[in-house]
Amino acid sequence: MEKAIERQRVLLQHLRPSSSSSVHGDASSLSASICAAGDSAAYQRSGSFGDDIVIVAAYRTALCKSKRGGFKDTYPDDLLAPVLRALIDKTKINPSEVGDIVVGTVLAPGSQRASECRMAAFYAGFPETVPIRTVNRQCSSGLQAVADVAAAIKAGFYDIGIGAGLESMTVNPMAWEGSVNPKVKSFAQAQDCLLPMGVTSENVAHRFGVTRQEQDQAAVESHRKAAAATAAGRFKDEIIPVATKIVDPKTGDEKPVTIAVDDGIRPSATLSDLAKLKPVFKKDGCTTAGNSSQVSDGAGAVLLMKRSLAMEKGLPILGVFRTFAAVGVDPAIMGVGPAVAIPAAVKAAGLELDDIDLFEINEAFASQFVYCQNKLGLDPEKVNVNGGAMAMGHPLGATGARCVATLLHEMKRRGKDCRFGVISMCIGTGMGAAAVLERGDSVDELSNARKVGTNSLLSKDAR
């Protein structure tokens, strides 16, 4: 950026009128500065190039079916440790340089899970000097962890951080502990915070006219795309194999295994098969086990730092963390969250929806996924191109970190034709979250503007 400003200064010297033909006051009004003309000039480029918060590595475990899958006998800390270790091994960073590890996690008791995460950091090789904490914003917790780390680095709290996610829905199933405050009956929206998530799915389908067939078709597509991605090896770069054990429930015999493939994907899923499933949450409803996200176990981790530091260390830049937005919506239809959060995050980046090349939207339920995609008018060819949670699973606290890994590795594969990506999910009790990421090698210090084409305006802001 400094070079660009210097070039402006030199050009302005040639443009200044001579003192004999002009008033000095007029000439002094010309000055070199960073262009702030809006999206078509630098899409909200408000800081220097080296201060970009970048992602240099993002990995996840396979996602496995709760209580029945490959991780049913794996301790939660043994899920998190391998992805944390992978960040060290694959980037060769000194673990003592990490300023903080933030782990998104939802269902486990807070103090116990915080201790398990600290234990996992030690297993992974981090010294006692590296702190760790947890964060819980329900289904967006993994993404919130990444956003928290990005914000902390931007604020100068530390130079390198890790945003991660962890959930074992085998060990910690969804349940309410203790009694409910009777005051909740006096506040309708507070009462709606207690609705089962499947009921909110039925509410979305009923209120916005999402049919059972549309939902089942979305589920079939999710499985089809996830199966194709697995067969093509598109998840291999993001999945870290986990050495663990499977215990025979009848004999108690332990079998050592290495889990490296998502085990909830059903390549043979068909509309006719899904149509046979009965509604789960409402007698005459349309939300079934087949068109809902799978209950799963898994973990993910993302390594962030400033671009200047990544360049100094010679680390490849997988992506740039541009913006994050969390919004509130009606708890009774919590699934609409992405339809509100995505425009907020995209606008904060100085972009429009048409500028986004890929979307990774969590498929909590087909009803809300279909609604959000239709509401925003998204091209289906850009959305969940490798399948989603209906096929792979939704380990609540880990999903955000999983989505970061999946999105960035797909953007890397697509290269120059894929610049911006969005991650989003709905959140229990009525919220939505979204983040805008940019492919790591799509921008450099002196050529960071989008092509405008035939538009003669300086910026869309001038329209």
Q: Among all residues, which ones are annotated catalytic? A: 139, 394, 426
Q: Are strands 296-306 and 64-65 parallel, antiparallel or unpaired?
A: antiparallel
Task: Please say whether the beta carbons of 388 and 369 come within 8 A.
Answer: yes
Phi, psi of 56 (to 5 degrees): -105, -15
Q: Tell me the three-class secondary structure of the chain, residue by residue.
A: CHHHHHHHHHHHHHHCCCCCCCCHHHHCCCCCCCCCCCHHHHCCCCCCHHHCEEEEEEEECCCEECCCCCCCCCCHHHHHHHHHHHHHHHHCCCHHHCCEEEEECCCCCHHHHHHHHHHHHHHHCCCCCCCEEEECECECHHHHHHHHHHHHHHHCCCCEEEEEEEEECCCCCCCCCCCCCHHHHHCHHHHHCCCCHHHHHHHHHHHHCCCHHHHHHHHHHHHHHHHHHHHCCCCCCCECCEEEEEECCCCCCEEEEEECCCCCCCCCCCHHHHHCCCCCCCCCCCCCCCCECCCEEEEEEEEEEEHHHHHHHCCCCCEEEEEEEEEECCHHHHHHHHHHHHHHHHHHCCCCHHHCCEEEECCCEHHHHHHHHHHHCCCHHHECCCCCHHHHCCCCCCHHHHHHHHHHHHHHHHHHHCCEEEEEEEECCCEEEEEEEEECCCCECCECCCCCCCCCCCCHHHC
